[in-house]
Amino acid sequence: MSYIGRFAPSPTGPLHAGSLLAALASWLDARAHGGQWLVRIEDVDKPRCKPGADREILRQLAECGLIPDAPVLWQSQRGPAYQSALDSLLVNNRAYACACSKSEIDQVLRSRGLMLRRGEERVYPGTCSVGLGGRQPRAWRLRLPEPAGARVHWEDGRLGAQTEQVDQTVGDFVLKRADGPWAYQLAVVVDDAAQGVSHVVRGEDMAASTARQILLQRALELPTPIYHHIALLHDAQGRKLSKQNGAESLMPGYAAVRDAIRTLGLTPAGTTLGELLEHAKRQWLARQHQATSSLSARRERR
Ligand code: GLU
C-alpha cells in the first residue's frame, strides 16, 4: 500500500511545542513507512486565523527539517470542492438545510427534559430534518444514517478499538456554518481524500472528531484512512497546550526537535538535525513493529 501522511495545522498562531509534536509524529510515521508527507493549512475559519501565521508555521517546520513532499494546500482556496461535496450530499438526501439558532436548539432540548450545561456539546434534536417550515436556512447538516449506521468503530494505532454512537454524541452535525465558513469536519474529509491521505497521525483531541469524519467518508463514498492519535502535551495547570492558552511560539531547530523526540518517548541521538530525525525514524519504526507483534500475539492467545 502506498503511504501518504499529512500535518494539517490551523494558522491561529505560530507552531508551539504541542503542534510540533503532531507534525513530527506524522512525519516520522510517513518516513518510517517510506511514505510521502504533506502539509495542509486549515484556514477555513478566517476570523480565528492570524495573518502571516501560515508562512511562519511553514518556515518553522522547514527549520526543524520537516519539508513537505508536495505543494502546500490552503483550505481557503478549496471552496468549490467543499461545495460540490455538499451538493452531492444534498442530491442524495444525506444533508439538509437547518434554520435553528443555538437558543432554539437549547429550547427544544430543554422541552425534552434535558439538563444543559454551558460549553457542553449539544446533540442536535433533528428539528429541521423534516423541513424548514418556511424559515431561512442558517446552516447545512449531515443526515445521519439510522442508529445502527451511526455507530462507528475504528481501530486507532495508539488508542486501540474505538466506538462512537454519533446520534447520541452529536446528532446530525454541521457541514457549513450559519456564519459562512465550511465546517472543519467537511473540509478535512474532502481534503484528506483529495490528497490521497492513507494515514492520519494527529493529536488526541482530534479523536473526538474521527467518528464524524468516518461517517462523512461513507456518505461521500470516500476511503477511510488509518488513524493514530498521539498523546497531547499539557501545561503546568494540566490544560492541553494550545495557542488559546498561551503556548509559546517555538524556536525551531535542533533543540526543539530533540525535545519533541523525547516527548514522543524516543531517545534522541545524533549531532545534526538530519541525524536526529533519521535515528528517531528508525526507533519509531521499531516501536510500531513491537506494537503490531504484541497486538497479533494477544489476538492469537484469544
Ligand atoms: N487543523 C486541526 C488543528 O490544527 C487539525 C486537524 C487534523 O489533523 O485533522 O488542530
Q: What atom of ligand 1 comes closest to residue 203's alpha carbon?
A: 8
Ligand 1 and 167: CB distance under 6 A: no
How far, in Å, is the centroid of ligand 1 from the Cα of 16? 14
pLDDT reported for residue 247: 67
Give the pLDDT confidence of 185-243 residue by residue, as tens digits.
999 999 999 999 999 999 999 999 999 999 999 999 999 999 999 998 877 777 776 76
Ligand 1 and 202: CB distance under 6 A: yes
How far, in Å, is the centroid of ligand 1 from the Cα of 10? 6
pTM across the whole model: 0.93
Instruction: For residue 74, give Cα distances in angstroms to 77, 124, 202.
Output: 6, 30, 18
How far, in Å, is the centroid of ligand 1 from the Cα of 301? 37
Closest C-alpha among 171, 211, 229 to residue 22: 229
Q: What atom of ligand 1 comes closest to residue 19's alpha carbon?
A: 4
**Rounded Cα–Cα distance for residues 259 and 280 (Å):** 12
**Rounded Cα–Cα distance for residues 4 and 27 (Å):** 10
**Rounded Cα–Cα distance for residues 114 and 124 (Å):** 12
How far, in Å, is the centroid of ligand 1 from the Cα of 287? 24
How far, in Å, is the centroid of ligand 1 from the Cα of 22? 9
Strand order in the sheet with 139-142: 95-98, 139-142, 174-176
pLDDT of 293 over the 90 cut: no
pLDDT reported for residue 245: 62
How far, in Å, is the centroid of ligand 1 from the Cα of 111? 35
pLDDT reported for residue 294: 73
Give the pLDDT confidence of 152-187 residue by residue, as tens digits.
999 999 999 999 999 999 999 999 987 789 999 999
Ligand 1 and 38: CB distance under 6 A: no
**Rounded Cα–Cα distance for residues 30 and 4 (Å):** 7
User: Could you tell me which residues are beta bridge partners of residue 240?
Assistant: 234
Across the chain, what does the average pLDDT equal?
93
User: Residue 93 in contact with residue 143, Cβ under 8 Å?
Assistant: yes
How far, in Å, is the centroid of ligand 1 from the Cα of 188? 8
pLDDT of 81 over the 80 cut: yes
pLDDT reported for residue 117: 84
pLDDT reported for residue 237: 73
Closest C-alpha among 40, 59, 4 to residue 251: 59
Ligand 1 and 42: CB distance under 6 A: yes
Strands of 143-260 (E only): list them. 151-156, 160-165, 174-176, 199-203, 226-230
Half-sphere exposure of 283 (CA within 13 A, CB side): 16
Pocket test for ligand 1, best of 38, 43, 206 (most atoms within 8 A of CB): 206
Q: Tell the residue nearest (CA) to atom 7 of ligand 1.
A: 8
Q: Cell numbers of 222, please?
A: 470516500
User: Could you tell me which residues are beta bridge partners of residue 264?
Assistant: none
Q: What atom of ligand 1 comes closest to residue 12's alpha carbon?
A: 4
